[in-house]
Structure 1
Amino acid sequence: MVEKHGGKSVLITGGASGIGLGIVKRLLADGASVASFDLHPTEMNTNSSKFLSLTGDAVDEAAVDKAVQDTVAAFGGLDIMVCNAGVIAISPVIDMDFAEWRRVTEINLHSVFLGSRASARQMIAQGRGGVIINASSGGGRKGAPNLSHYCASKAAIISLTQSLAIELAPHKIRVNSYTPGHIETPFWKGIAEGFAAISGKSPDEVVEDFRKTVPWGRFGTPADVAATVSWLASPDAEYISGQAIAMNGAEFPY
């Protein structure tokens, strides 16, 4: 069996849970050497030399640079960067304080900038190209009530990705983003509680209302997203750059 990412080294931010953990597991299964960088240790049932858990803040410039250096030291280089770290919060804009706006937009957007910059510098120095993949959202393509800070940050990530793709193409570094719809992750507890407080519905009713908006009939899974990320990182996607690829069960059909 040929390993899709055999011999490749990967750094993933926000890899300790949810979509990030799904990507860690998928790329390890595909044969890559994977470093997961998160505020919390990434718990994996493996002692493999191909896995490295790094802890730190994805919006700390020095910590992100060090995560790249530690990945290179462990695996001999960096071929694939996945900027997955992010947060979500629910609040009507008229009730939102500036601190919350800053927290959501800074974590979501600044982490992608710092991760993309640090990995691009390393990839350019290596001289063999590379792949950068950034986490956006369906909310980055279509605004939603009570999510203005989240949607704005995710839209900015799509634009940043497009700019980076053009700028880094001469170095044979491809840059794309993924835009999930509703994915079953630990985020949903906070999402459901946030919308329940606004709507007067129960959290379970909120989740069911969102589920009904998905034509495919179910929420996505981290594995659904990870499969797309694996493909974007592979040679099969060699001519794809600057794109925002959706996995959403036809919820946002564009």
Structure 2
Amino acid sequence: MKTHEGRTVMVTGGASGIGLGIVERFLDDGANVVSLDLKPTLLKAHSEAFLSYVGNAADEGSVDEAVAAAVARFGGLDIMVCNAGVIAINPVVEMDFSEWKRITEINLHSVFLGSRAAARQMIRQGRGGVIVNASSGAGRRGSPHLSHYCASKAAVVMFTQSLAVELAPHRIRVNCYTPGHIETPFWRDIADGFARVTGKSADEVVEGFRASVPWGRFGTPADVAAAVSWLARPEAEYISGQAIAMNGAEMPY
């Protein structure tokens, strides 16, 4: 029997990067998987155990409708992965309030909405469940030009810890993951952003971040997905309220 066979998982932001890696990992582990993203989630191969739901993870109606679609298609919801997020690079003194709101809304509000919808469904089912939220190493250490991103990801850690205590009587575990430097399609945008504010080239930015990782390489979506899958396993039932890092020994994450 596969690790998550017979369980249903929803992943927000599942169309690319870390989110797509998580979708693929849970499918490999035997789960039914629903991806909620602004664009369709395309898999390498068709799977009857997969549903791509197009919607906004930071919109209340979209999230509630996606959970309802998961229940209608697969009969329930066992695991929610609130992975959707965005990043931007700017000094505070040059940052528009609209940018601050966009980053904090998507990174934090989507976690609240996804967690709330999942918790409501899991409580109705009465068999417990697992919620795993996306924070970041940047949520555990401040960084110049990333104040909005750092603030939103730090808030996810505190929200996760609070919700873990609140939902423990329902046997719903809540944890978050705090990746370090993970190589995804977003890295080019990140490198270009830092190049703009630091005067370095994008290639210099990338190599500087790579050199900061003691393990000697960037992480991959598969690295993060393996940890998320493990956190969701029944054997991990005594782990709740934690922020789990995957960062190649980069400190102090």
Compute the TM-score of the two structures, normalised by the length of structure 1: 0.98
Alignment deviations for residues 37-73 of structure 1 (CA, whole Å, 9 cap, x no partner): 1000000133321000000001110110000000011
**Aligned match of 1:195:** 194
Partner of 1:84: 83
Extract unaligned runs of 5+ from structure 2: none
Q: Secondary structure in 2 aligned to 1:4?
A: coil
> How many residues align structurally?
253
What is the distance in 2 between the residues matched to 1:192 and 1:133? 28
SS, match of residue 2 in structure 2: coil
Within 5 Å, give how 1:186-225 maps onto structure 2.
Answer: 186-225=185-224
Q: Percent identity?
A: 74
Trace 1:177-192 onto structure 2 (pairs within 5 A): 177-192=176-191
**In 2: Cα distance, 1:106 partner to 1:181 partner:** 22
Rounded Cα–Cα distance in structure 1 between residues aligned with 2:127 and 2:173: 12
* Distance in 2 of aligned mates of 1:218 and 1:143: 22
What secondary structure sits across from 2:41 in the alignment?
A: coil
The aligned residue for residue 5 of structure 2 is 6
What is the letter of the counterpart of residue 209 of structure 1?
G
What does residue range 96-245 of structure 1 map to in structure 2 within 5 Å? 96-245=95-244
Q: Does the aligned pair in 1 maintain the 2:164–2:175 contact within 8 Å?
A: yes
Q: Within 2, Cα distance between the matches of 1:66 and 1:243?
A: 28
Q: Verify the 8 A CA contact 2:26 2:229 in the aligned structure 1.
A: yes
Q: What is the letter of the counterpart of residue 220 of structure 2?
A: T
Q: Is 1:75 paired with 2:74? A: yes
Contact kept? 1:128, 1:172, Cα under 8 Å: yes
CA–CA distance in 2 between the matches of 1:37 and 1:191?
A: 23
Matched-pair contact (CA < 8 Å) for 1:138–1:252: no
Q: Could you say which residue in structure 2 is the equivalent of 1:15?
A: 14
Q: Secondary structure of 2:165's match?
A: helix
1:59-104 Cα distance to aligned partner (Å, 9 max, x none): 1101100000000111100000000000000000110010000000
Which stretch shows the higher mean deviation, 198-207 or 159-168? Answer: 198-207
How far apart are the structure 2 equivalents of 1:31 and 1:137? 27
Letter in 2 for 1:25: E
In 2, Cα distance between the equivalents of 1:214 and 1:48?
Answer: 36
- How far apart in 1 are the matches of 2:233 and 2:182? 23
Using the alignment, how far apart are the partners of 2:154 and 2:58 within structure 1? 18
Contact 2:141 2:252 in 1 (8 A): no
Q: One-letter code of the match for 1:93?
A: V
The one-letter code of the counterpart of 1:98 is F
Aligned equivalents of 2:201, 2:115: Cα separation in 1? 39
